[in-house]
Structure 1
Amino acid sequence: MTYGGKITIGNNCSINPYTIIYGHGNGVEIGSNVLIAGHCMIIPSNHNFRDNKVPINQQGSTSRGIKIENDVWLGTGVKVLDGVTIAKGCIIAAGAVVTKSTEAYGIYMGVPAKKTKSRLDV
């Protein structure tokens, strides 16, 4: 499922059921040969919340966008948050929450996602 805005998807990608991709703000760019398992969420924006005198829903939002480079695999239930670039060849394990950009060919897992190995070393 996609929610409008700017979403680009490369060739030979697989996006499985119940995955949600929001395209608002600076949007989402997905490279080629990307595998996205079911129940993932890709969210290229975030609510502002710094002024505790103003309700969060009245403070607007920011959007830096998300880029998923070529040959990436997102496991079931992965969450990718605003401002992240998932570098070429990465594997993101099921259930991980990606809050920071990754290194090419890294294997990441956990909440927040941390690099545990490199595909180059396996």
Structure 2
Amino acid sequence: MIEMSEKQKMLAGEAYFPSNKQLQADRLNAKTVCHQFNQLSPNDYKQGMKLLKGLFGSTQSFWIEPHFYCDYGYNIHLGKQFYANHGCVILDGALVTIGDDVMLGPGVLISTATHPLNAEKRKKGIESAHSITIGNGVWIGMGAKILPGVTIGDNAVIAAGAVVNKNVLANTVVGGVPATFIKQIL
């Protein structure tokens, strides 16, 4: 039996060691690209989108305001007409798949990464990552946080400041900490 690399474990949603040299190098690359993007003049927006396009797994048409941060970049997949306002953070140890016509308010955090509840395992530096899927036409309000393993259905609205720890149905509004159903969108 062939042993999986730490990167393969990460991508499979299994426990892995992020201190692995390959993963450290991958994160350094992403942080370098994000730094370059974040330091550009506002007049260099085309160069900024080109930098990020080279970092991401796949893109269509998108616009991201600086400052933007991610862990790896290659696990981020963006649909058409994606927009992220200032201060977006995507911790992409697992796949982050975002549909068409999605808008993120300022300060949105999308995190696939999590750590064991067991303190001894945490001390060893183990973590895991679980994919996040965001459907088409979703609006995520200012300062919202999307936690590991969540799927957000098409046309959903996530209220500002919400902490989403469970799947969100299509055509609904959720808000609060943790986020709960507010209303159906007709």
The alignment's TM-score, normalised by the length of structure 1, stands at: 0.90
The CA distance in 2 between the partners of 1:102 and 1:11, in whole Å, is 21
How far residue 55 of structure 1 moved from its aligned partner, in angstroms, is 5.8
Matched with 2:162 is 96
The alignment's TM-score, normalised by the length of structure 2, stands at: 0.60
Change (3 A) 1:22 1:89: same
Matched with 1:9 is 78
Q: Which one of the candidate residues 35, 40, 45 is aligned to 2:113?
A: 45
Contact 1:48 1:59 in 2 (8 A): no
Gaps of at least 5 residues in structure 2 are: 1-67
Question: Residues 71-102 of structure 1, C-alpha deviation per residue, up to 9 Å, x if partnerless?
Answer: 00000000000000011110000000000001
Aligned: 1:80 with 2:146? yes
Which structure shows the bigger proportion of residues in helix conformation?
A: 2
Gaps of at least 5 residues in structure 1 are: none
The number of residue pairs the alignment matches comes to: 117
Aligned: 1:113 with 2:179? yes
Please tell me whether Structure 1 or Structure 2 has the larger radius of gyration of its CA atoms: 2
State the Cα RMSD in Å.
Answer: 1.3
Amino acid at match of 1:88: D
Question: Residues 11-65 of structure 1, C-alpha deviation per residue, up to 9 Å, x if partnerless?
Answer: 10111110101111x2211111000011010001200122x4x162425112221
Q: Percent identity?
A: 32
Q: Which runs of 4+ in 1 moved over 2 A?
A: none
Matched with 2:87 is 18
Higher RCO (C-alpha under 8 Å, 6+ residues apart): 1
